[in-house]
Amino acid sequence: MRVTVATRRSPLALAQSREVAHALVRGGHEAPLLEVTTTGDRWSLAGTGQQPGADVKGLFVKELEEALLAGAADIAVHSAKDLPGVLPVGLVIIATPPRQHPGDVLVGSPGGLDALPDGARVGTTSPRRSAQVLAVRPDLTVVEVRGNVGTRLRALDAGEVDALVLAAAGLNRLGITRDDAVDLPLETFLPAAGQGIVAIEGRDADPAVREACAPLDDAAARVCLVAERAFLARLGGGCTVPAAALCEADGDHLRMRAWWDGTGRFVDLEGTTRDPAALGVRAAEGVGAA
């Protein structure tokens, strides 16, 4: 069957969507791409420094979801961490391929944060990453650096910042290797909920498309994403307060670590794959969700 794949035009989004499309083709389907520029992309490239609104996450998926609802596309491929806590009525996550490295990397300082001099400029647009960097090194200066991965790396190489914090999965999917990159420890730099996971979104009432995408689904990635999204939902869905969550599966056993800057609390919990959402809710309540 023909499965039209909606995707953002950024290099990372295209790389992720092409992986999904190639997997569908290997399964005997046609999978043309429908490239879309989202409101978030326009904001990111505008360079005005102005925030577009409270729910920044939704601005990177809005037009893709509109294409699904209008029937212009059959699935949309997202970085799972970009998805808002609540999806539009009629849309669901229908598959989650295997998760890539969920953590962050520091680029520009192979010795890590400790090797940066006092006052060094660290680039990121993420409130979570900003809070985590300053918790470890309050003497550093966090600088907003927007744009796609390539744009941010060019800003680093041009000397606009001394280091960058980026998702390891994004560099891996783009095939970018840097001698000046080092993994940041998960003990102090828990990732955003869903980081490293690709979410394939589709219409709930479209069983043929769901069946076509079923072979792409990874059970471990799926249950962990359920837990992490339940954590976000319990915190308030589109909450802009920095928060982080990482669920890991080992057979039927789940381990969930979470942190919320609203209280500064960290939790490390266990659960099972039978009810990953309950684990996410417990994690949110443990960090102080009202």
pLDDT, residue 290, reads 78
State the span(s) of the chain assigned CATH 3.40.190.10: 1-98+196-217, 104-183
User: Do 238 and 54 meet the contact criterion of CB atoms below 8 Å apart?
Assistant: yes
Quick: pLDDT tens for 112-170.
999 999 999 999 989 999 999 999 999 999 999 989 999 999 999 999 999 999 999 99
Quick: pLDDT tens for 187-198.
999 999 999 999
% of the chain exceeding 70 in pLDDT: 91
Domain covering 1-98+196-217: architecture: 3-Layer(aba) Sandwich (3.40)
Query: Looking at domain 218-290, what is its CATH homologous superfamily?
Result: Porphobilinogen deaminase, C-terminal domain (3.30.160.40)
In this structure, the number of other CB atoms found within 10 A of the CB of residue 85 comes to 19
38 Cβ contact partners less than 8 Å away, ≥ 6 residues apart: 8, 59, 60, 61, 62, 63, 64
To the query of whether residue 252 is one of the catalytic residues in this protein, the response is no
Burial class (CB in 10 A: 0-12, 13-18, 19+), 156: buried
Over 80: is that where the pLDDT of 213 sits?
A: yes
Minimal CA–CA distance to 77: which of 58, 59, 97, 102? 97
Over 60: is that where the pLDDT of 185 sits?
A: yes
Beta-sheet strands, E only, within the chain? 5-8, 33-36, 75-79, 91-95, 104-107, 121-123, 141-143, 163-167, 181-183, 198-203, 243-250, 253-260, 265-272
Average pLDDT over residues 47-65: 63
Rounded Cα–Cα distance for residues 211 and 218 (Å): 14
Mean pLDDT over the full length of the chain: 92
Rounded Cα–Cα distance for residues 66 and 44 (Å): 20
Minimal CA–CA distance to 260: which of 135, 159, 76? 135
pLDDT, residue 51, reads 46
Candidate list 82, 104, 162, 206, residue with the active-site label? 82
Average pLDDT over residues 218-224: 98
| Token duo for residue 115 | 């090797």
Average pLDDT over residues 20-37: 97
Residue pointed to by tokens 């998702």: 167
List beta partners, residue 200.
77, 95
Quick: pLDDT tens for 245-268.
999 999 999 999 999 998 999 999
CA atoms within 13 A on the CB side of 275: 6
Pick left, alpha or beta for residue 232 (phi over 0 → left; psi -120 to 50 → alpha; otherwise beta): alpha
State the span(s) of the chain assigned CATH 3.30.160.40: 218-290
pLDDT, residue 45, reads 54
CA atoms within 13 A on the CB side of 212: 26
pLDDT, residue 37, reads 85
Average pLDDT over residues 93-98: 98
User: Do 149 and 128 meet the contact criterion of CB atoms below 8 Å apart?
Assistant: no
Rounded Cα–Cα distance for residues 271 and 259 (Å): 17
Phi, psi values for residue 123, rounded to 5°: -90, 130
* CATH class of the region 104-183: alpha beta
71 Cβ contact partners less than 8 Å away, ≥ 6 residues apart: none
pLDDT band (50, 70, 90) for residue 49: very low
pLDDT, residue 50, reads 43
Over 50: is that where the pLDDT of 243 sits?
A: yes
Average pLDDT over residues 24-42: 89
pLDDT, residue 40, reads 66
Over 60: is that where the pLDDT of 53 sits?
A: no
Minimal CA–CA distance to 39: which of 21, 19, 27, 53? 53
User: Do 288 and 263 meet the contact criterion of CB atoms below 8 Å apart?
Assistant: yes
